[in-house]
Structures are given as C-alpha cells and as structure tokens.
Amino acid sequence: MHILLASLSTSTTTLVAGLADLGIRCDEIDQLDDLASVLALSGPYDALLLRLDGPTGEAQAAVCDLRRRGLAVPVAILCGRSPLPAEEEALLHAGADDVLHNPIHLRVLLARLQALARRARGHSCARLLCGNVVLDQAQHAASVDGRRVPLTAREFDFLETLMLHKGVLLTKERFMTNLYADGTAPDSKIVDVFVCKLRRKLAECGAAEMIRTVWGRGYVAFEPSPATIESARRDRRPEAAIDPVPRGWTRRSEVLATA
C-alpha cells in the first residue's frame, strides 16, 4: 500500500519503520494546511492516516475540507489517547472512515487500512475476485478454482495491486511505487517481467486472461467473459499446481468417484 501519513504528534520514525516492514510505503507531512494539495498532486494514495496526540478539532476541520473538495480518499485517524465519544462521533460525521487509538498492533492497523482501501474500490472482504482467480489478502495467497498459484512475494503484491484497481489503467511508475517501498527499485522494465510471469503462472493453473496491456501506458486488470473462463479451464495443464493432500487423507471428489 501507498499511504499519506499526516502527523501532528511526536516522531513517527517507529511507526513508519513498522509499516514499511509490513510493505506499506508512507509519505509524511507534519501539518494539515496543504493536505488537499499533497493528496491531489503527490498521490494517488490508498489511504490517509492522520496521527494526533492532542485535541481533535484541527483534524476534524481538515477532514471536512477534504470532503468539501470532493476528495474521497479513505481516512483513518489514529489518536494517541482514547477519544471522547463526542470527539469520535464528530470525526466520523466530518468524513473520517475510522477512528483508532493507541496502543494498536501494527498488523491490526494494516488490516484496517487494507479494509478501507478495499471498500473504497467496491471490494467487500479480503478475498478479491477477478474471473476465476481469487486473491486472499488475509492468507496472502492466490488460487484458481481452488488450485494454489505459486507466487513470489513480489508477484503476489503485483497481482494484488492489479486486482484492487480492477478496471483502472496503472502505469509502470504506479507499480514501482507500490512494489518497492524500501528504495531498492530496479529498472521499470521489471514490470513487464512480472506481467509475463503472472500470465504464465495463472494460465498454467487454468485462469482466464485478465491482464490487458495498454501499449505505451501500462496495464489493467479486466473481468473475462464466462466463455473465456471455461475455455481456460479446459486448456489447463494437468500438472498445474494443486494444493497437496496431507498423507492419509482422501480428496472428497475421489471418494464420490468411487462410491
């Protein structure tokens, strides 16, 4: 994920480092006056995280201003103390999507940010669907008709970015921003390599083609037709990756076949 962290509190070094370890890239600002401009000019961002230790009035006014300007980025507010019910209510009515307070486990914070980003794009849960491909954010796994697709961590992140933004053209620069938060980005041609590998691995497991190339601009995930999905299933390689059955177990389909 790529988020904007606006902090009105103490140092965010520990928070940023912890989020980076979980694969979240943070751009930081320490005031709210130019929040709308930063979101519009430096994004797009998957979410905005406002961190504050004191009164919530300034954050409330900033969120109101964003919504008046038509900016629909998901907003989570992380308070240094448990906010009063009236403060929390006011923040939510102002346009915040979630109000959290410390202490909070970083993985819980990640899950909440992911949930906000998913819902903003029409996904209701951690299982993202495109054709007969299922990407499970909670399990960090992708499958085709129940068959596990053997993806590396970078390949998973690449596919997740595509499926979260299904129907949206993504440039190579957008992929590089999302994939290399640690500053180790190679040449942007690596994006073409990821697409090639993903197409091959997905096709081997019986997935319908779902990644479209827009020459000179980038890539977009699209919903394949039912006929295309059935054709891909018929063409699946018999030796494609299937989750192994624990020793001593029998697949239910095999039991039914011999019954």
From the CB of residue 193, how many other CB atoms can be counted at a distance below 10 Å?
14
Mean pLDDT computed over 2-23: 84
pLDDT at 182 over 60: no
Question: pTM here?
Answer: 0.66
The pLDDT value recorded for residue 38 is 86
The residue count for the chain: 259
Q: In the structure, what pLDDT confidence band is assigned to residue 259 with cuts at 50, 70 and 90?
A: very low
Q: In the structure, what pLDDT confidence band is assigned to residue 239 with cuts at 50, 70 and 90?
A: low
pLDDT at 185 over 80: no
For the stretch 93-102, pLDDT in tens is 999 999 998 8
Both tokens assigned to 235 = 């063409």
Q: In the structure, what pLDDT confidence band is assigned to residue 224 with cuts at 50, 70 and 90?
A: very high
pLDDT at 258 over 70: no
Q: How is 129-142 classified by DSSP, letter by letter?
A: EETTEEEETTTTEE
Mean pLDDT computed over 230-254: 56
What is the average pLDDT value for the chain, to the nearest integer? 83
The pLDDT value recorded for residue 12 is 81
For the stretch 134-161, pLDDT in tens is 999 888 899 999 899 999 988 998 899 8
pLDDT at 253 over 70: no
Phi, psi of 132 (to 5 degrees): -105, 25
Domains of the chain (ranges, CATH numbers): 2-120 (3.40.50.2300), 127-234 (1.10.10.10)
Q: What percent of the chain has pLDDT over 70?
A: 88
Burial environment of residue 50 by CB neighbours within 10 A (0 to 12, 13 to 18, 19 or more): buried
The pLDDT value recorded for residue 102 is 84
For the stretch 50-106, pLDDT in tens is 998 878 888 899 999 999 988 889 999 998 877 788 988 999 999 999 999 888 899
